[in-house]
Structure 1
């Protein structure tokens, strides 16, 4: 008999800019927290960059974007000698923060609504993935694409050093009302336990609210 030990990891936190972020910890473990004014490590006045839509990614050729968005803020992938490449979730977050302008190959500007609709037509549950990605970034975490089926994101603890530290969490998204394949859950749980990573389920309800649950034990009896 297979069993999963699941515990509530944290509730989505709603604070205003005037409220102090919570520093509570559960069982001595770091809890997802929201930082005031978004990512506390970024300065208040930030440069805006222009990128070009290439299918389902946006490319930025400006070398300053590599320094500001990639090296300092951990957005995108930067192949050696190439442009900075942003995923759909990253594009939408940066548009929302007014750090990015996107144009098509005809140089016409594409706004948030146009791009979110375009991405959603080609990527299943794109809006849900965006909500989770944005929430994790708002809490101050470094978020990278997941590895393998069922793991949407890898999340690094706050203060992690790029290229040195490993991801602490594996994030799998569960949508309220949508069946979860036990085969996939079984696979990602085994993988996370064997690799000593923390598997966290991001459960998104019908209103877009997110609650996180940690699966910290797997038993096969």
Structure 2
């Protein structure tokens, strides 16, 4: 059963988590096929909004993260020694992933709402979304520090099977999160639907 934008009204409130706007330094990064990598200054990318994944001395950014950071002027992206612009990076990502336009639009929208968003590949979803103001950490977590929503991004003409829907609901239930379907229309607007199990 879906409830259109019911529980999501709180997103429209003024966020209590806001990424610092005073950051002036632009970090150089390198495009490596399906990801963008930063070495020097990577903490300046990760810390303000928990972008990317730290692996040793490098920070790996998913394409949605890199595109948004490039659009906001937080990073520069180079490929084969040449600096590339937002449209070039976006087109590269779209060539790798036909669903990238929907994923990017939803990611950008959630970030603009002041929410903390992480990729959800290892969970079998597009994104994990946390409460505003959450500080990510390893180890034991409070209820607020756990993933609140898992998000699947689809175009408006997407056909969903009952089996796929059932798997998605079970996934959300197993990690004690809510499941959101983010439907992106032809104008690029995202509408969110909460889908949950109901016991008769």
TM-score of the superposition, structure 1-length normalised?
0.79
Residue 78 of structure 1: which of 54, 57, 69 is its match? Answer: 54
SS at match of 1:144: strand
**Is residue 2:28 matched to residue 1:50?**
yes
**Is residue 2:182 matched to residue 1:182?**
no
CA distance in 2, matches of 1:53, 1:128: 21
User: Which runs of at least 4 in structure 1 moved beyond 3 Å after TM superposition?
Assistant: none
Alignment partner, residue 205 of structure 1: 185
Q: Considering only aligned residues, what root-mean-square deviation do their CA atoms show, in Å?
A: 2.1
- Number of aligned residue pairs: give it: 192
Higher RCO (Cα < 8 Å, 6 or more apart): 1
Q: Structure 2 unaligned segments of length 5 or more: list them.
A: none
TM-score of the superposition, structure 2-length normalised?
0.87
Give runs of aligned pairs for residues 100-179 of structure 1, distance below 5 A. Answer: 100-105=75-80, 107-146=81-120, 147-149=122-124, 151-163=125-137, 164=141, 165-179=145-159
Give runs of aligned pairs for residues 59-78 of structure 1, distance below 5 A. Answer: 59-62=37-40, 64-66=41-43, 68-78=44-54
Q: Structure 1 unaligned segments of length 5 or more: list them.
A: 11-25
Contact 1:193 1:218 in 2 (8 A): no
